[in-house]
Structure 1
Amino acid sequence: MNFPISLTINGVRRDIELDDPRVTLLDLLRERLQLTGTKKGCDRGQCGACTVLVNGQRINSCLALAISHDGADLLTIEGVARGDQLHPLQAAFIAHDGMQCGFCTPGQIMSALGLIHEGQAGDDPERVREGMSGNLCRCGAYAGITDAVLEAQKILANSDQRRSA
């Protein structure tokens, strides 16, 4: 028995036939759709490497069944940059050495993007650390990650102010 679902992934509508209702969103993205930027870390929702945005909210895709997100709008790390132009958050991660091995970086960036869009980043490093606490970095690049989120938050807030003026 097949289970048809429709997802908008990085702005592109995808009609998908699932042959198993137990397929996670993470496995669908990585194995069926070849969107391998989303990483499989712990596969238990504890590390944040699989973070994606679903309808603008951060989720651990390893814990989400694909079938339960029929009709959803997903953003993965592959959809953050615009062509060759990095998103300000991606550029800030580079500028502040917010990565070392890079394995956790896609999940960190997606979580930070969600944190900023939720209006939860603010300008307090402790608030950012708390908001990002579900994303682990084995290399310990937390100071650079925090600085990158704070810088991107300022840049994005300034660009939003300019657009509304």
Structure 2
Amino acid sequence: MMNEMNDEITVTCRINGGEATLQGDPAGSTVSALRARGLYGVRETCGLGVCGTCTVLLDGEPVSSCILPLYALDGRNVQTVEGAANGEELSDLQKQFIESQAFQCSFCTPGFLASAQALLDQTEGELSWQEVEEGLQGHLCRCGSYEAINEAVRTCSRNRNCTAGCAAS
């Protein structure tokens, strides 16, 4: 809904499973709107959609929230890294990132987690190194933790039926 007085819109969507109403510039970035709601796991680095740091899941698909305009959220489901956990219980993938030490500074980690979760949700069976690499294309880790990140995702793919978290095998 457009407010002609100040060219702002109101967008209704679901964020991390809960109903949300956002207001702002229709062309304003999703990353800014999410951070304004206190979702600081969504981080912006490049502002061009090329580094993957700001990746969130939009209806289950990874998207760069720095180039996703606010109007595109209307009626959609958004999941950030904060929504990956079940209350205080981390997701299996989050636990495996910790177990595998799949981060150093962790600035890029939320974006990697979002795309890795989408990859796991959209595939079956054990993933190869190449499949994970291709699934996480477009993500930059300035610390160079790619090998540990790939291993964490592959471990989760091997242990898809685990209930108490993924354990390295």
Query: How does the TM-score come out when normalised to structure 1?
Result: 0.89
- Residue 28 of structure 1 corresponds to 33
Q: Is the 8 A contact 1:121 1:128 kept in 2?
A: no
Contact 2:92-2:156 within 8 A present in 1 as well: yes
Looking at structure 1, the residues matched to 77 and 126 of structure 2 have their Cα atoms a distance apart, in angstroms, of 25
* C-alpha distance in structure 2 between counterparts of 1:84 and 1:12, whole Å: 16
Structure 1 stretches of at least 4 aligned residues deviating more than 3 Å after TM superposition? none
CA drift of 1:63 comes to 1.1
TM-score (norm: length of structure 2): 0.87
Equivalence for 1:67: 71
SS at match of 1:5: strand
For the pair 1:149 / 2:153, whether they are aligned, the reply is yes
2:61 maps to amino acid: Q
Unaligned runs of 5+ in 1: 161-165
Distance in 1 (CA, whole Å) between partners of 2:43 and 2:124 is 24
CA contact (8 A) 1:121 1:131 kept: no
Counterpart amino acid of residue 83 in structure 1: G
Cα deviations across residues 88-147 of structure 1 (Å, max 9, x unaligned)? 101110111100000000101111001111217842011101111211100000110001
Q: Which residue does 1:140 correspond to in 2? A: 144
Preserved contact between residue 125 and residue 158 of structure 2 (Cα < 8 Å): no
Q: Is 2:49–2:64's contact at 8 Å kept on the other side of the alignment? A: yes
Aligned counterparts of 1:21 and 1:133: Cα–Cα separation in 2 = 29
1:163 alignment counterpart: none
Q: In the alignment, does 2:26 pair up with 1:16? A: no
CA distance in 2, matches of 1:59, 1:120: 21
Structure with higher helix content:
1
CA RMSD of aligned residues (A): 1.6
Unaligned runs of 5+ in 2: 164-169
In the alignment, the residues of structure 1 paired with residue 62 and residue 22 of structure 2 have an alpha-carbon distance, to the nearest angstrom, of 22
Provide the residue aligned with 1:38 in structure 2: 42
* Aligned residues with identical type, % of pairs: 36
- Alpha-carbon distance, 1:17 to partner: 2.5
Q: State the secondary structure of the residue aligned to 1:145.
A: helix
**Structure 1 CA distance, aligned partners of 2:66 and 2:124?**
24
